[in-house]
């Protein structure tokens, strides 16, 4: 048995010996994890990478590693845990607080070209103590896509009551493609119109039991179960295939409508009792601090996000540079969306928008809230008591340091 123990110890030593890290000199190869597998996206990313390599002979390879969006963060953290962290990574807004606070990311402020022209509402999530830890390369507002083959009359300034009535009347309904009765954070695209928040600004107290939230959730519940304007739990309805009248989605999804067999338009989110508002989803790209090539990676990030490349990326990923954030620039690369739509949904959305809820320990909060909200998705649910229940469940998580 003692021989076995010795063998195990030897194995352990060998394992730990492999995981030591040190700065690397000589030819470098970089790897960036991304959640897109879209050919047009990857083609553009590779073009930018080739250009960088041409001027930086020491970087021999820049590889974009596509990980499916579903489970992206889980896969990324598993790679990090396994000692196989990428050099750069795309990060979803909901994981931003965890990544920024943990110290996993290298500071990049000094590497970003004209850092002062980044829109403050877009960089807020990625900063700590005045330092920037990821570049928000995609800031995508939520808008209301309407199938005008089904809904003829679309006023520019809808209220939620009117929009839901129109959705119900069309017989096809309004969908939230990413919600699936699981990703509750998507509902913030509706409840912000009531002035509701998942939690307070400092993240310490729960907002689900607030009067605003109860009103907003009652409205959503009624739209689903009484008005039948939103398809109920367990059913899948695809707006992009023409099966729904409206969809609340991010404008980066407009690409999916390229070959649509129906006519459509894009309008800002309807106004709620608290007036006009905007909600944005975000993605940042950061440099892993423990990467052997962190320096080179940060340098590439600076190039990747400079003014010229941001303009190129803008055709897929709405930019946060004030110099690029105007309808004319966006129109050049977004032939599917009209300039006035870009102005009202994208430009104004980004400047006045609130980012989808995110918090440290987001995934645990996600699962806890998902489970606590499940009783709400029944016709006879008591909205107020379900929401009080959500707060009871997440209180200890919010109060945790």
Partner 1 sequence: MTFWTYRRRDNLVGYLFVAPALLGSLAFVLIPLALVGWYSLNEWNVLGGTFEFIGAENYERLLSDEKLRESLVATTWFAAGLVVLNLSLALLLAVLLNQKLRGTTVFRTLFFSPVLVSLVAWTLVWQLMLQPEGSVNGLLGVVGVDGPNWLRTESAAMVAVIVVQVIKNVGLNMVLFLAALQGVPAPLYEAAKIDGAGAWTRFRRITIPLISPTILLTSIITIVGSLQVFAQIAVLTQGGPGTSTTVLIYYLYQQAFQFHHFGYGATISVLLFVIVAALTLLQWRMRRKWVLHES
The contact set with partner 1 (CB under 8 A) reads 4, 7-8, 11-12, 15, 74, 77-78, 80-81, 98-99, 102-104, 181-182, 232-236, 290, 361, 363-364, 367, 370-372, 374-375, 377
Inter-residue contact 167 to 159 (CB < 8 Å): no
Q: How far is the CB of 255 from partner 1 (least distance, A)?
A: 25
b/e per residue, 190-206, with b = 16+ CB within 10 A? bbbbbbbbbbeeebeeb
Q: Which is nearer to partner 1, 129 or 259 (CB)?
A: 129
Q: Which is nearer to partner 1, 7 or 308 (CB)?
A: 7
Distances (CA, A) of 246 to 146, 165, 239: 4, 12, 7
User: Cα(first)–Cα(last) distance of the chain, in Å?
Assistant: 45
Q: Which residues contact 315 (CB under 8 A, 6 or more apart)?
A: 44, 332, 333, 334
Q: Which is nearer to partner 1, 54 or 379 (CB)?
A: 379
Q: Which is nearer to partner 1, 54 or 81 (CB)?
A: 81
Q: Which is nearer to partner 1, 22 or 235 (CB)?
A: 235
Q: How far is the CB of 301 from partner 1 (least distance, A)?
A: 19
Inter-residue contact 239 to 146 (CB < 8 Å): no
| CA R_g for the chain | 23
Q: Which is nearer to partner 1, 71 or 120 (CB)?
A: 71
Q: 204 is written with which tokens?
A: 């310490």
Q: Which is nearer to partner 1, 220 or 267 (CB)?
A: 220
Q: How far is the CB of 28 from partner 1 (least distance, A)?
A: 21
Burial (CB count <10 Å: 0-12, 13-18, 19+), residue 130:
exposed
Q: How far is the CB of 336 from partner 1 (least distance, A)?
A: 31
Q: How far is the CB of 398 from partner 1 (least distance, A)?
A: 15
**Residue 191 DSSP code:** H
Q: How far is the CB of 107 from partner 1 (least distance, A)?
A: 15
Crossing angle of helices 294-304 and 39-55, rounded to 10°: 110
Q: How far is the CB of 4 from partner 1 (least distance, A)?
A: 8
Inter-residue contact 142 to 269 (CB < 8 Å): yes
Q: How far is the CB of 232 from partner 1 (least distance, A)?
A: 7
Residue 60: its H or E element: strand 59-66
Q: Which is nearer to partner 1, 224 or 251 (CB)?
A: 224
In the chain, the largest separation of any two C-alpha atoms, in whole Å, equals: 81
Per the listing, tokens 């989110």 go with 269
């Amino acid at each position: 048995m003692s021989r076995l123990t010795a063998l195990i110890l030897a194995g352990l030593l060998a394992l730990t010996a492999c995981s030591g890290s040190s700065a690397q000199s000589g030819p470098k190869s970089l790897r960036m994890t991304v959640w897109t597998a879209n050919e047009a996206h990857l083609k553009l990313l590779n073009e930018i990478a080739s250009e960088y390599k041409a001027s930086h002979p020491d970087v021999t390879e820049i590889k974009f590693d596509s990980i499916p969006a579903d489970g992206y963060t889980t896969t990324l953290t598993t790679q990090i845990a396994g000692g196989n962290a990428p050099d750069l990574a795309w990060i979803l807004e909901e994981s931003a607080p965890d990544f920024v606070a943990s110290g996993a990311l290298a500071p990049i402020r000094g590497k970003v070209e004209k850092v002062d022209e980044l829109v403050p509402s877009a960089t807020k999530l990625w900063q700590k103590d005045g330092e920037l830890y990821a570049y928000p390369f995609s800031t995508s507002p939520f808008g209301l896509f309407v199938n005008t083959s089904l809904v003829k009359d679309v006023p520019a300034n809808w209220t939620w009551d009117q929009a839901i009535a129109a959705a119900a009347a069309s017989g096809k309904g309004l969908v939230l493609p990413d919600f699936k009765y699981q990703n509750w954070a998507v509902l913030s695209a509706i409840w912000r119109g009531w002035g509701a928040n998942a939690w307070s600004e400092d993240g310490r107290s729960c907002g689900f039991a607030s009067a605003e939230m109860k009103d907003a959730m009652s409205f959503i519940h009624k739209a689903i179960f009484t008005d039948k304007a939103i398809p109920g739990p367990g059913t899948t309805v695809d707006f992009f295939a023409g099966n729904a009248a409206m969809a609340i989605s991010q404008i980066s999804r407009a690409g999916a409508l390229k070959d649509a067999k129906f006519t459509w338009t894009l309008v800002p989110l309807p106004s709620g009792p608290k007036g006009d508002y905007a909600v944005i989803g975000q993605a940042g790209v950061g440099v892993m601090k423990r990467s052997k090539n962190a320096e080179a990676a940060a340098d590439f990030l600076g190039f990747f996000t400079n003014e010229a490349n941001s303009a190129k990326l803008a055709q897929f990923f709405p930019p946060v540079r004030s110099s690029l954030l105007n309808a004319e620039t966006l129109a050049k690369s977004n032939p599917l969306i009209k300039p006035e739509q870009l102005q009202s949904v994208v430009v104004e959305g980004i400047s006045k928008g609130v980012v989808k809820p995110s918090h440290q320990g987001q995934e645990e909060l996600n699962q806890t809230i998902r489970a606590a909200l499940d009783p709400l998705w029944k016709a006879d649910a008591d909205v107020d008591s379900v929401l009080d229940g959500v707060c009871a469940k997440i209180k200890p998580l919010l109060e945790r340091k």
